[in-house]
Amino acid sequence: MTDRDFYSHFHSDEHHFVDKALDWLERAGERHTVKLSDFLDPRQAHILTMLANRHSDAQVQLFGGYVGAERKRAWIAPEYKAPQEADFQLSLLAITSEDPQFGSLEHGDFLGALLGVGLKRDRIGDLHVKERQCHVVLATEVSDFFRMQLQQVGRAHVRTELLPISALEPVVQSYEEMGLSVASMRMDGIVSDVYRLSRAKVLPPIKNGRCRINWKVEEDPSKSLKAGDVVSFQGFGRFRVLDVEGETKKGRIRLKIGKYV
């Protein structure tokens, strides 16, 4: 397989990550080194795992602090080694506040505040927001920095405390369900209906790479969706196609959509 054939399996935005992943695996298999990655999104984790299957001398283990984690760190090592949970170097930051505004804060408010202290998204794992607290999974090497620097989320002043990862209280992701009747399974039409935007308004962002299906950039507005697909539309959030329920008498397709809340 030529390099061109190989890279054709990935979006151009993913080529840099593919190169890094191949280097990690080569070093693990041929030089017997161990690499701990930053947090990977599900698409990156899928790519790394797929590439690892091509390397019989290297292995990949993934962990994000709890079963069902979305964002995970990867431990890349020779196939004869075995990781311990501590090898993933995960810490838990608990954010609390007595400010009455704290209870109205959402996932995006906490993530924005964390990014605002000056570190990149790949140092942060999943966030679990409850009424009176937010638990954040962090890379241990930056956890003290976050603890000291984060003093405010939105307009609410907050307290921070580092806890062992075993103290994590995961929040099950919930959906706001909605029913749609669509002419086809085209991505642009469904995105338009979910967010109540005209198709003319969703086309430019899609073509500019602001839409992802299952964490992979998709620039083709006519891409067909299927049950189980997770679609993220930058600036608006994301949704899952929960079910394709059949056709109406007029030939339209009935969908059940779950918008992440």
For residues 159 and 123, is the Cβ–Cβ distance under 8 A? no
Classified by CATH at the fold level, domain 3-81 comes out as Ribosomal Protein S8; Chain: A, domain 1 (3.30.1370)
- pLDDT at residue 1, rounded to an integer: 46
245 membership: H or E segment, kind and range: strand 237-247
Note the pTM of the prediction, 2 decimals.
Answer: 0.83
Contact 162, 147 (CB under 8 A): yes
Distance CA(136)–CA(90), nearest Å, equals: 10
The pLDDT, as a whole number, for residue 92 is 97
Determine the average pLDDT of the residues in 61-80: 96
Give the tens place of pLDDT for each residue, 177-196: 999 999 999 999 999 999 99
Q: CATH number of the domain at 175-260, please?
A: 3.10.290.10
Q: Which CATH class is domain 90-167?
A: alpha beta
Closest CA to 161 of 96, 116, 109, 117: 96
What are the residue ranges of CATH 3.30.70.330 in the chain? 90-167
From its phi and psi, is residue 238 left (phi > 0), alpha (psi between -120 and 50) or beta?
beta
Average pLDDT over residues 151-173: 93
Please list the residue range(s) of the chain that carry CATH number 3.10.290.10: 175-260
